[in-house]
Structure 1
Amino acid sequence: MNTVATAHLAPMLRESFIELPARERARSLLDAGTFRELLGPFDKIESPWLPLQGVVCQADDGCVIARGTIDGEPAVVAAIESAFQGGSIGEVSGSKIAAALELALRDCERGKIVRPVVLFETGGVRLQEANLGLAVIAEIQAAIVALRRHVPVVGVIAGMVGCFGGMSLAAALCSYLVVTKQGRLGMNGPEVIEQEAGIDELDASDRRRVWQLIGGEQRAATALADQLVDDDADAVRIAVRSAFEQGVPAAHRSEQVDVFLNRLAQIDPASVTPESMRDVFNRHGQTESRKEQA
């Protein structure tokens, strides 16, 4: 096949990462042939609370935990399935993620480095298991903070659900965050903001506006995510591997409190626009970069 024909076919050969279910997303990040699932569907670790409320369970509770290798190094991937209960975190799914990260931490403390990846696709805590879900999300956050002292913790937000609620805080704690344009990141989802603050604050049906404010491209442009990639399984895999190659950052995002408070002080809450956010964050980012170089 000639080069011109291959170039035309290249976009067609791409595999959408967003369209993959959680299990296949995890598999695509690991080295070929190394995928091994822990507590999979046949183990039938289900939520004991959903049936009591008339909700049909899923055998893996909407969370896939996989061990394998990334570039030959031991790795663990926690992938949230958006197709089940909107990726919401309950007692079982959250405990699977927390336990996987805690086991990786135990290995790291013993000198065996395990590369942890979390694929966020969640609206936050599962309302049917609210208190239990919130408690386990706190465990996930604590595990991320402990792990990132030894190894980068990489998060991925691809789409279409995005990452909201307590899990948005977990994403913010990651050493590196990879996003696509289709992904979204925010403490509260658009529907919640409209419901609580009114449509004048945010029209959740205005999809263009929503993505301008909290979409992956905007989050990367305002330093709340580290790498913007196309919706392509190969691109996501390369970005994740690149993040681990960078090593543990000198200062994690959540440790740069004064930096972000200084930036936020330049924003007028009464007239926040995507452009004003980019202007302030880019201007201050460039200033800080020049100071570091000096």
Structure 2
Amino acid sequence: MSTVVSPSPHALLHDSFIELTARERARALLDAGTFRELLGPFDRLESPWLPLQGIVCQADDGVVIARGTIDGEPAVVAAIESAFQGGSIGEVAGSKIAAALELALADCERGRIVRPVVLFETGGVRLQEANLGLAVIAEIQAAIVALRRHVPVVGVIAGMVGCFGGMSLAAALCSYLVMTKQGRLGMNGPEVIEQEAGIDELDASDRRRIWQLIGGEQRARTGFADALVDDATDAMRSAVRDAFARGVRPAHRSEQVDVYLAQLAQVDPQTITPETMRAIFAAQSSGSQPSNGGAA
């Protein structure tokens, strides 16, 4: 008789980065054994506004801040949890990210370089805390701009929610942006566009069309992301390390205003397609060609 041995459940699991929680993602990017969480759930730093609207809080307000090392160098990772309020940014969540980046900036200004990583998984500002959320997103953006003069600021958009609203601007300000094909990046989400402009403008249920327009591959091919990686933890870890190895960027995307205005002038809204967008923007992209499995 032959014996059939069932494979271990772990052998069937794909090492997906997207499927990890925010805390697991942060731990996965840091060197083994160096993860140390700041202002974690037991500190009970949660939104004071959500209970007033009958919404149950989360003890870390949906953002994980972790210190550790990347390739032996000091690092800080801010990871947004998409499972809580769609990764939306309120007063506490945003303040945790802004403060982490500002502390890293203070260290860099004293000559102690800290490598910053932001894991974006957010629809943007939390509507229940709109003005406070918008104000703190502006603080996050200012901190990224100040930090990137000293050290690369690496952003990651993996999947599930994507990155939209004011936080899409924060992602665009990063020195280097790493995406998977499943990730999406845009100022407004598909549902918002459909709601405001109508289904003739954009059908939010047309998933293939959505990814053609704002998916990770399209963003990499048009120079708005610097690396396109497989959904695998090792690939993401390698891409983040490669981004830091490239050093401070000589010219950031947000500093190339004339270049992008010239490209936008070539766009015909009546005839534009994902393919023509690649043709227009690829020529003057971010200075790199996207790769599959590591930073370009």
TM-score between the two structures when normalised by the length of structure 2: 0.92
Residue 91 of structure 1 corresponds to: 91
Residue 65 of structure 1 corresponds to: 65
Residue 292 of structure 2 corresponds to: none
Letter matched to residue 153 of structure 1 = V
Equivalences for 1:119-134 in 2 at 5 Å?
A: 119-134=119-134
- Cα distance per residue 1:245-279 (max 9 Å; x no partner): 00001101111111111111111022221011011
Residue 8 of structure 1 corresponds to: none
Question: Whose helix proportion is higher, 1 or 2?
Answer: 1
Which structure 2 segments of 5+ residues have no match? Answer: 1-10, 290-296
Residue 181 of structure 1 corresponds to: 181
Distance (Å, rounded) in 1 between the aligned partners of 2:158 and 2:288:
29
Which structure 1 segments of 5+ residues have no match? Answer: 1-10, 290-294
**Any idea what SS the aligned residue of 1:61 has?**
coil
**Any idea what SS the aligned residue of 1:271 has?**
coil
Residue 294 of structure 2 corresponds to: none
Letter matched to residue 163 of structure 1 = C
Is 2:192 aligned against 1:168?
no
**Any idea what SS the aligned residue of 1:118 has?**
strand
Identity %: 84
CA 189–264 in structure 1, closer or farther in 2 if over 3 Å, else same: same
Residue 118 of structure 1 corresponds to: 118
Letter matched to residue 258 of structure 1 = D
- Cα distance per residue 1:31-89 (max 9 Å; x no partner): 00000000000000010000000000000000000000000000000000000000000
Q: CA deviation at 1:283?
A: 3.7
Moved over 3 A (4+): 11-14, 283-289
Preserved CA contact (<8 Å) 2:37 2:64: yes
**Any idea what SS the aligned residue of 1:159 has?**
coil
Paired residues in the alignment total 279
- Cα distance per residue 1:148-188 (max 9 Å; x no partner): 00000000000010000000000000000000000000000
CA 284–63 in structure 1, closer or farther in 2 if over 3 Å, else same: closer
**Any idea what SS the aligned residue of 2:270 has?**
helix
Preserved CA contact (<8 Å) 2:223 2:288: no
Residue 207 of structure 1 corresponds to: 207
Is 2:146 aligned against 1:146?
yes
Letter matched to residue 46 of structure 1 = E
Distance (Å, rounded) in 1 between the aligned partners of 2:186 and 2:249:
23
Equivalences for 1:185-264 in 2 at 5 Å?
A: 185-264=185-264
Distance (Å, rounded) in 2 between the aligned partners of 1:69 and 1:285:
31
Preserved CA contact (<8 Å) 1:66 1:78: yes
Residue 4 of structure 1 corresponds to: none
